[in-house]
Structure 1
Amino acid sequence: MTSPHPIVAVLNGPNLNLLGQRQPELYGRTTLAELEAMVGAKASALGLAVEFRQSNHEGELIGWVQACRGRARGIVINPAGYTHTSVALLDALLAAELPVIEVHLTNIHRREPFRQTSITGKAATGIIAGLGPAGYLLALEAMAQLIRGGA
């Protein structure tokens, strides 16, 4: 069954399944399930349908990105550690030919030097970093504007 609303994939990379438990001083106490509920509510308010997923496996993320092509209207992605390492994920995002908004809970530019470069960001229409879970909600607002041609 297809959704009457534009589909936005919200994809999360490795270790985000530990959100709320792993380094809460950096990543906060919001769990992935709580984040998914926040994203779902925001998407509904914006007239979007969301497919929210998380994987610790690069190939699975790449498969999900490829599946968006011709089906979803946009991708919001937190590639997590793959941000700085995955040319393959970058290539998949570019091949999707969709608007992409990259989200990071922390400000990667204030982190260790190896975290300050985003390989996957080269495929992004925009990048939101350092605003915690609110970054996902802002990404959905921006994506809604992009989909409707207002940005």
Structure 2
Amino acid sequence: MRGDLAHWIALGFGSGLSPLAPGTVGTLWAWLAWSVLGHWLTPTQLGVLLALSLPVAWWACTRTADHLRIADPSAIVADEIVAFWLMLWLLLPTGFWAQLVAFMLFRFFDAVKPGPVGWADRLLHGAQGWRGGLGIMLDDLVAAGCSLLVIALWHAL
């Protein structure tokens, strides 16, 4: 991890190295980082950060998976980080309890992979190069979308 910036990013600055539930730990790191960044950045600046983070995470996931020679290593959590940041940005402004619900929904969809999340996970599973990196990220972005859909439907009731 030390010698490559892509590895630092892909492994969530070490959060993905957790021996227990690295995806959950990576998402918790994302939530903490977002909360800290929210004290200094405006919603527009957070949106720019998010827009820049998507291709950087794709690159980091691709490079790290290629170096590890594993299609979708559980230690790679940049996909969870960026997908959860997207959720938090789209839910702005929101408080702790709404963010906690978003966290729980996202973790459910990412871990269980029902319906479209499972499809997205299988779509590019085992691909290499840039397609492999996209495959790593795609199921998490779909999990974020499903979580946001549940929140929107709940608000509509």
The TM tier, using the shorter chain, reads: 0.3 to 0.5
Which structure has more helix as a fraction of its residues? 2
Larger radius of gyration: 2
**What is the TM-score normalised by the length of structure 2?**
0.32
Which structure has more strand as a fraction of its residues? 1
